[in-house]
A and B are shown apart, each in its own frame.
Chain A
């Protein structure tokens, strides 16, 4: 499956990546090659294989339902560009 310029622009937008126009053909070629690899794998009959959800052959550890975190808002908000009344401020998302 070959990806064209529109596909690359769409993927970049979904991932919020700014890419320069002149790089697009190269991305299209490289991504298309990855897709070819996926197609190659798709061709293998995996009907009897349990899909792998994680490379580690282990299962998830569970923790007890206890509150272990304390309020560190003032520390965290030192890293934020803008805060007010305890809120993190971001550029307006609804016009």
Chain B
């Protein structure tokens, strides 16, 4: 039987505020345990939550960026369950009236197609603390620094059809929240994480199959592997005559499998109700319009502009706009190089990206600045150096030997374009290789390559290749 899968993602993006969603405690990562957990975060009796304006502004910004409805009125609710890293016994979240409703995200698939994925809703909530299960004399240690950190939970429609699509959606969302500067996107620190609802059904069937919720997917690679594993598992269960159980499963990265999680709360009976400690949040249109003015150029818009303005392919434009920093760097290179956007694109995506990968650096940490790279490209365009020599110049710049002009000067890499000088080298090469000259003149065109190589070698790679070709043909002709 042919099967198809249905996937929906719940992405938790930690909002990049200075203080928590309902208290004035710091959200800085990596502090000593419980030094950033105040009375509100600890759920001590008598405290009241007060909502952080910035959190609401960021949620509205996100809603506008995905073409969603930013609710005039949204309500916080209590999600009740008991766990030691949740001191109040409930998580403040949003249930019936979330701050963002509807919206969509367009993802690019590998075959070049674009698919529009619906976003059901995005709601605000507080994060829980962290339980440490190492041995504290048979007890569990609890660090509540993270408790009360603002999260935006972004829920997609069940419209993703493969693990690859799910990853494409997650990457696009990751890029978007960073463009919007509402989340730092740091997955190692848990600032951007994801749960996946996965089910399978016979191809063509309308009803959804029973779904499993996969948790603990904190990298793009894990999302893909966990979903692929889960699809295979569910198909095997059904084909083996069994039934898929609705449950929460944990992805084990070491074993590359998903397995049932010990239940946190029986049957997920959260008994939501409106939180009496918080009044409804009312956003007037003026507030929303003010937020709209702060929207930056979004990834999709930037990509379209790169295609039309710089004449790049959609693939190149997509790669160069994957992050805001990358797009900014590229544009600075084009500006500094006085043109040839295609050449700039090749260098940013080619040699520069390769060096960054090799040294584990972000583009913002590149020792070769956009101005330096642009300056070097200028020297390629005006024929001072060849593309091949440029690779040596680039490496020297990377190693801190100065800008392109300094490196070209100090290493004597200036291209030889003087016809007389090149002719001199050619004459010497011809004189040294009478046998090959004979072969060429006898009709063996392939020997040309040998001559070009010899001339380039004799000029230490500095002779202008086009001129070498032309002059050689004339001399040997």
Residue ID in chain B nearest A55 by CB atoms: B276
B54 contacts partner chain A, Cβ-Cβ < 8 Å: yes
CA distance A76 to B47 in the complex (A): 14
Q: Which residues of B contact A56 (CB under 8 A)?
A: 279
Binding-face segment, B19-27, B433-441, B446-454: B19-27
B98 to chain A, nearest CB (A): 13
The A interface, classified by DSSP as helix, strand, loop or mixed, is loop
Interface size on B, residues (CB 8 A): 57
Q: Which residues of A contact B17 (CB under 8 A)?
A: 65
Whether the pair B279, A77 counts as a contact (CB closer than 8 A) is no
A residues 76-90 in Cβ contact with B at 8 Å: 76-77, 82, 84-90
B144 contacts partner chain A, Cβ-Cβ < 8 Å: yes
A20 contacts partner chain B, Cβ-Cβ < 8 Å: no
CA distance A89 to B134 in the complex (A): 11
Whether the pair A93, B84 counts as a contact (CB closer than 8 A) is yes
CA distance A77 to B55 in the complex (A): 29
Whether the pair A60, B139 counts as a contact (CB closer than 8 A) is no
CA distance A65 to B80 in the complex (A): 27
**Range class of the A interface residue count:** 35 or more
Residue ID in chain B nearest A51 by CB atoms: B96
B residues 3-53 in Cβ contact with A at 8 Å: 17-19, 23-26, 32-39, 42, 44, 50-53
A residues 27-86 in Cβ contact with B at 8 Å: 51, 53-54, 56, 58-69, 71-73, 76-77, 82, 84-86
Knowing A53-B97, A87-B142, A92-B140, the reply to whether A63 touches B52 (Cβ < 8 A) is: yes
B residues 133-162 in Cβ contact with A at 8 Å: 133, 136-144
Whether the pair B50, A67 counts as a contact (CB closer than 8 A) is no
Q: Which residues of B contact A14 (CB under 8 A)?
A: 80, 265-266, 269, 271
Knowing A72-B38, A93-B83, the reply to whether A60 touches B138 (Cβ < 8 A) is: no
Q: Which residues of A contact B142 (CB under 8 A)?
A: 87-90
Counting from the closest, the 5 A-B pairs by CB-CB distance are: A68-B24, A87-B141, A65-B54, A62-B53, A86-B33
Residue ranges of B at the interface with A (Cβ–Cβ < 8 Å): 17-19, 23-26, 32-39, 42, 44, 50-56, 73, 75, 80, 82-84, 89, 96-97, 131-133, 136-144, 262, 265-266, 269, 271, 274, 276, 278-282
